[in-house]
């Protein structure tokens, strides 16, 4: 009889160096909880990290890991998944890393629907580099790079994910580890690209979107009988921000993954072949 995995099985000898009270601690805990609940041994999972405070988690979780270039975590993760379809691949990044430098990769990963999970620490600033304006910084908020307030409209990552064709779009809150743990479990189980945007207060540089600010506004979509299969309803929820902010599973659909589509073009069922054995010339013929 095997011993069930525990949260602590994913600890390393290094303790996080994040600022005391940082929302990253909640995400770190939820991810370890989820890996243990999924019975994913450290040797059976690859976590690809972006650059930033979130990327420092590469030293704090025991698993195979890859610390990518700024904004380039998704291409590395997709490459790993296509090389070994049996490998569980998770990506951990930040809002600046993933929605700024990596915004283009994010959009096309949603379209492609490769079977990986993307967890984004969304703290509305560039936390590691002293609090500059990020893609999700609210309009008018002062930052170290915009002391008189931002003039750009904030990016809405979950609305973008739904509009770009995401098959699993969710939003968690670092202050609710229980809900976030379940979201990550469900995201990893989803057959396709799964997106988990996590509202993660930066206690050092973002004094507007604080834990108390979020606690007054977040609500769980399951409490209002949300239909996550209805794209129109999901998009309307995703646009909510200000007085109320939704958390939970916003949208989900089951559709063929990128590998499924390639095998369809190649004329053979997915179960019979690995992606790296495909005769790519047959696939290329479909475009000529």
- pLDDT at position 272 over 90: no
- The strand pair at 194-199 and 125-126 is best described as unpaired
CB of 197 closer than 8 Å to CB of 157? yes
Tokens, residue 238: 């995703």
Residue 23 has pLDDT above 70, yes or no: yes
What is the residue-averaged pLDDT of the chain?
90
Task: Using DSSP, state whether 243 is helix, strand or coil.
Answer: coil
Domain 19-255 has CATH 3.40.190.10: no
Are 94 and 54 in contact, with CB atoms under 8 Å apart? yes
Sequence ranges of the domains in the chain: 19-255
What confidence tens digit (pLDDT) does each residue in 38-70 have? 999 998 999 999 999 999 999 999 999 999 888
pLDDT of 69 reads 83
**Among the ranges given (10-14, 266-270, 277-281), the one the predictor scored with the smallest mean pLDDT:** 277-281
Instruction: Give me the residue label for tokens 């936390």.
Output: 127
Name the pTM for this structure: 0.90
Q: How confident is the model at residue 266 (pLDDT cuts 50, 70, 90)?
A: low
Question: How far is Cα 58 from Cα 235, in angstroms, rounded to an integer?
Answer: 33
Instruction: List the Cα angle 171/175/179 in 5-degree steps.
Output: 50
The span from the CA of 10 to the CA of 98, in Å, is 24
pLDDT at 276 exceeding the cut of 70: no
Q: Considering only 145-154, 156-165, 205-214, which range has the smallest mean pLDDT? A: 145-154
Q: What share of the chain is helix, strand, coil (3-state, %, to 5)?
A: 40, 15, 45
Show the tokens assigned to 283.
């696939």
Q: Is the model's pLDDT at 2 over the cut of 80? A: no
Place of tokens 């770009």: 164
64 neighbors 89 (Cβ within 8 angstroms): no
pLDDT in tens, 165-180: 999 999 999 999 999 9
């Amino acid at each position: 009889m095997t011993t069930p995995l525990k949260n602590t099985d994913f600890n390393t000898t290094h303790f996080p160096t994040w600022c005391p009270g940082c929302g990253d601690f909640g995400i770190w805990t939820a991810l370890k909880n989820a890996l243990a609940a999924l019975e994913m041994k450290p040797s059976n999972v690859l976590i690809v990290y972006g650059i930033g405070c979130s990327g420092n988690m590469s030293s704090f979780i025991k698993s195979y890991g890859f610390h990518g270039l700024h904004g380039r975590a998704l291409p590395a993760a997709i490459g790993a998944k296509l090389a070994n379809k049996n490998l569980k691949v998770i990506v951990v990044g930040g809002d600046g890393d993933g929605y700024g430098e990596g915004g283009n990769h994010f959009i096309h990963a949603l379209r492609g629907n490769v079977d990986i999970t993307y967890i984004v620490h969304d703290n509305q600033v560039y936390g590691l580099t002293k609090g500059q304006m990020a893609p999700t910084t609210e309009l008018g908020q002062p930052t170290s790079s915009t002391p008189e307030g931002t003039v750009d409209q904030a990016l809405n990552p979950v609305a973008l994910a739904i509009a770009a064709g995401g098959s699993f779009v969710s939003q968690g809150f670092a202050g609710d580890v229980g809900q976030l743990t379940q979201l990550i479990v469900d995201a990893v189980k989803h057959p396709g690209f799964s997106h988990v945007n996590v509202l993660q207060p930066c206690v050092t540089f973002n004094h507007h979107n604080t834990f108390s600010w979020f606690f007054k506004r977040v609500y769980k979509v399951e409490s209002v009988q949300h239909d996550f299969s209805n794209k129109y309803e999901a998009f309307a929820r995703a646009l909510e921000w200000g007085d109320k902010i939704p958390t939970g599973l916003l949208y989900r659909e089951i559709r063929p993954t990128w590998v499924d589509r390639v095998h369809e073009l190649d004329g053979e069922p997915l179960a019979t072949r690995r992606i790296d054995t495909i005769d790519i010339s047959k696939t290329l013929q479909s475009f000529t």
